[in-house]
Amino acid sequence: MIVTEKAAGISGMLHPGKRQTPPAWLIVAISSIALLLLPFIFKLDGKPHADWQQFVGRFHPLAVHLPIGLIVLVPLLEIAGRQRPALREAAAFVLALACAACFGTLALGYLLAYGSGDTGATVTRHMWGGIALTIILLLCLCTRPAWSAGVATRTYPALLVCVMLALLWTAHQGGSLTHGSTYLTEFMPAPMKRVVALASIGASVPHPDSFYAQHIHPVFDSHCVGCHGAAKSQGGLRLDSYDALMRGGKSGPAIVPRNPDKSLLLMRVTLPSTDKHFMPAEGRPPLKPEEIAWLRAWIQQDASATATHLAGITLPESRDEPPPQPVSDYSALMNDIRQMQQAQGAKLAFVSSKPSDGLVLNTVDAAPTFDDAQLAQFQRFAPYIVEANLARTAITDASFDTLGKFSPLRALHLEGTAITGSNLARLATLTQLPYLNLSETRVTSTAVASLKSLPNLRHIYLFDTPAQPASTPDAAQSSVQSTSRSAQ
Ligand code: HEC
């Protein structure tokens, strides 16, 4: 097929010519190498980076529609151009625009993943898909002039087909990231679903009355899905569905049915809580001993999606913790909260969009410099703070006076601080507090005894303290003092 383009091109890259051809290939080669090296230079290390990166990056899901639209237009224009040559010229222009749009979108997407610390198999596939797509598109740009001059007439059309396939695949990965991998199939008509189910390995829907649905899934839901779900799949692992759980993560299967000791997931939740591989990560409250026992028994008995009872597990009669008390509405302080968020390294996060769910005080990014004086500045938000993460901060015993005023607290992390607990009794006002972590401090058993009066305190962690030295390898396990006070 011989088509001659008469119009002057928008850039030298679009048209064959003695002068332009070498630079075009050179530019494509250099940009491709740069794209391929990008993930190795700025590694997606799973850690969040600068806020501005996330701010800018979050425009990626919006911006991505531009290159998609442009790319789809290219083959349409080429085909229609058989009848109307002017459209062929337009195709060259649209192709160049699509390339530019791909670079822009790729940059935004990379900022999003890098800035937010997102990792996981889907993120990786989506990223490489985007990179491959951009490179193939660049190759289209290079091979098109030859094609339109009637030389090498197969290469460009073949590359266009590759572009479309890469686009479909990358878009699907991106869709799975934002909507979850079952988004497309969830409301599929049953006959179609069966066809798809045949294609996907071992897809099985857990029975709603199964032990999995009743007891295993809720554990993951409350402890893990924040990092292993649709929004983020750390370690390539999702725990928000039975299938995803059984599929495992980047290290392979997380569950080996009938073999708890070989199941990575169980290993990770039973490590000492100070191990860097311990799950849940980042100092989140560990699983309760009975939850670990359920997991172990469930895996031992085939990790079934349907079994309703497990041998050896008798479930306590509804030992549910009382529903959390709503806190007062913080809406009036919204400006102050926002100001505080900007002024301090420590952050006040909203538990949910409902003001009555309260605030979380998070010092992770500012821990080494966060001291008693800084904590005192948060005192006026005390009526709204339900969780305070002060682990590894510079606070001392002097802060217990302040902390005593945080009456709605339901979780208090003080692990790894310099406290000795001499005035731990000041916490007597925290009548709602069920969870207190004092691991790796100098707290003594005498000091801990002063907490006896706290009516709701069920979990005190004392790993590696004078109250409970880290002598045995099992110390983390035994440090869980589940003091059930239902009998009192
Ligand atoms: C605060 C975030 C966070 C929470 C909460 C969390 N994880 Fe993780 N998890 C990670 C990160 C980050 C990785 C990857 C790094 C690593 O392997 O340690 C990971 C990796 C894993 C892996 C290894 C996956 C693989 O194939 O390499 C398992 C298993 C796991 N987590 C289980 C759990 C379980 C079970 C829970 C809940 C009890 C949980 N995680 C809660 C952040 C978290």
Please report whether residue 338 resides in a domain. Answer: yes
Residue 325 in any domain: the answer is: no
- My answer on whether 246 and 296 are in the same domain is yes
Backbone angles phi, psi at 349, to 5 degrees: -110, 150
Ligand 1 atom 20: residue of nearest CA: 235
CA distances to 21, 24, 131 from 31, rounded to whole Å, are 16, 11, 11
pLDDT of 267 higher than 90: yes
Tens of pLDDT, residues 163-177 = 999 999 999 888 877
Structure tokens of 296?
Answer: 């172990």
Of 230-239, 270-279, 311-320, the one with minimum mean pLDDT is 311-320
Of residues 284 and 94, more confidently modeled: 94
Would residue 206 count as lying in a domain? no
What is the phi/psi pair of residue 275, to 5°? -65, 140
Kindly give the number of the ligand 1 atom that is closest to the alpha carbon of 265. 29
Sheet holding 359-362, edge to edge: 347-350, 359-362, 385-389, 411-413, 435-437, 459-461, 480-482
pLDDT at 185: 65
The CATH number that applies at residue 461 is 3.80.10
Last residue of a domain, one of 195, 228, 259: 195
Mean residue pLDDT across the chain: 82
How far, in Å, are 25, 156, 247 from residue 8 at the CA level?
20, 20, 54
Secondary structure (DSSP) of 245-293? HHH-BTTB-S--TT-GGG-HHHHHHHS-TTSTT-SS-TTPPPPPHHHHH
Is residue 72 lining ligand 1, measured as CB closer than 6 Å? no
Beta bridge partners of 481: 460
**pLDDT over 60 at 397, yes or no:** yes
Alpha carbon of 282 to ligand 1 centroid (Å): 10
Residue 8 lies in a domain: yes
**Closest listed residue to residue 80, CA positions, set 68, 71, 88:** 88
Specify whether 342 is located in the same domain as 453: yes
Sort 214 into a burial class: Cβ within 10 Å, 0-12 / 13-18 / 19+.
middle
| pLDDT at site 203 | 44
3-class SS of residue 458: coil
What global pTM score does this model have?
Answer: 0.43
DSSP string computed for 168-235:
HHHHHHHHHHHH-TTTTTTT--HHHHHHHHHHSTT--PPPTTSHIIIIIHHHHHHHTTTTBSSS-BGG
Same domain, 384 and 285: no
Q: Are residues 237 and 346 in the same domain?
A: no
Least confidently predicted of 331-340, 359-368, 421-430, 473-482: 473-482
> What is the C-alpha separation between 5 and 8, in angstroms, rounded?
8
Res 332 pLDDT > 50: yes
Nearest CA to ligand 1 atom 37: 224
323 C-alpha to ligand 1 centroid (Å): 27
Judge if 154 and 58 occupy the same domain. Answer: yes
What is the domain count for the chain?
3
**pLDDT above 60: residue 317:** no
Q: Using the atom order of ligand 1, give the atom closest to the CA of residue 280.
A: 41
Higher pLDDT: 403 or 334? It is 403
Higher pLDDT, 295 or 306: 295
* pLDDT mean over 192-204: 52
Residue 114 placed within a domain: yes
Q: Is 280 in the pocket of ligand 1 (CB under 6 A)?
A: yes
Which pLDDT score, from 0 to 100, does residue 465 have? 84
Mutate to test the pocket of ligand 1, among 223, 227, 270, 290 (most ligand atoms within 8 A of CB): 227
**Residues 397, 479 share a domain:** yes
Whether 476 shows a pLDDT value over 70: the answer reads no
pLDDT bucket at 316, cuts 50 / 70 / 90: low
Q: How far is CA 102 from the centre of its chain?
A: 25
288 and 356 in a single domain? The answer is: no
The 3-state DSSP class for residue 63 equals helix
Residue 78 has pLDDT above 70, yes or no: yes
**Domain membership of residue 230 as a residue range:** 211-300
What mean pLDDT comes out for the span 467-479?
Answer: 49
Cα of 208 vs centre of ligand 1, distance in Å, is: 25
Q: Look at residue 92 and tell me if it is in a domain.
A: yes
Same domain, yes or no: 295 and 342: no
Tens digits of per-residue pLDDT, 204-229?
567 777 899 888 988 998 888 888 98
Q: With a cut of 50, say whether residue 60 has pLDDT above it.
A: yes
Q: Specify the pLDDT at position 162.
A: 97
Tell me which residue has its CA closest to atom 11 in ligand 1: 234
185 and 295 assigned to the same domain: no
Separation of alpha carbons 136 and 423, rounded Å: 66
Asked if the model's pLDDT at residue 390 lies above 60, the reply is yes
Per-residue confidence (pLDDT) for residue 344, from 0 to 100: 57
Q: How confident is the model at residue 3 (pLDDT cuts 50, 70, 90)?
A: very low
User: pLDDT category, 324, cuts 50, 70, 90?
Assistant: low
Gap from CA of 236 to ligand 1 centroid (Å): 9
Asked, for residue 203, whether it belongs to a domain, the answer is no
* pLDDT for the residue 243: 86
Q: 309 in a domain, yes or no?
A: no
Residue 348's pLDDT is what?
83
Check whether 106 has a pLDDT greater than 90.
yes
pLDDT at position 323 is 63
Whether omega before 48 lies within 30 degrees of 0, making that bond cis, reads no
- Residue 270 beta carbon below 6 angstroms from any ligand 1 atom: no
Write down the pLDDT at residue 322: 60
Segment 454-479 mean pLDDT: 65
pLDDT at position 473 over 60: no
Residue ending a domain, choose from 134, 162, 195: 195
pLDDT at residue 314 tops 60: yes
Do 347 and 457 have their domain in common? yes
> Does residue 488 surpass a pLDDT of 70?
no
How confident is the model over 10-30, as a mean pLDDT?
Answer: 63
103 pLDDT more than 90: yes
238 and 180 within one domain: no
Domain identity same for 163 and 253: no
Does the CA dihedral 188-190-191-193 come out positive or negative?
positive
pLDDT reading at 385 higher than 80: yes
Q: Is the pLDDT of residue 158 over 70?
A: yes
For ligand 1, is residue 222 a contact (CB within 6 Å)? no
Of 170, 195, 220, at which residue does a domain stop? 195
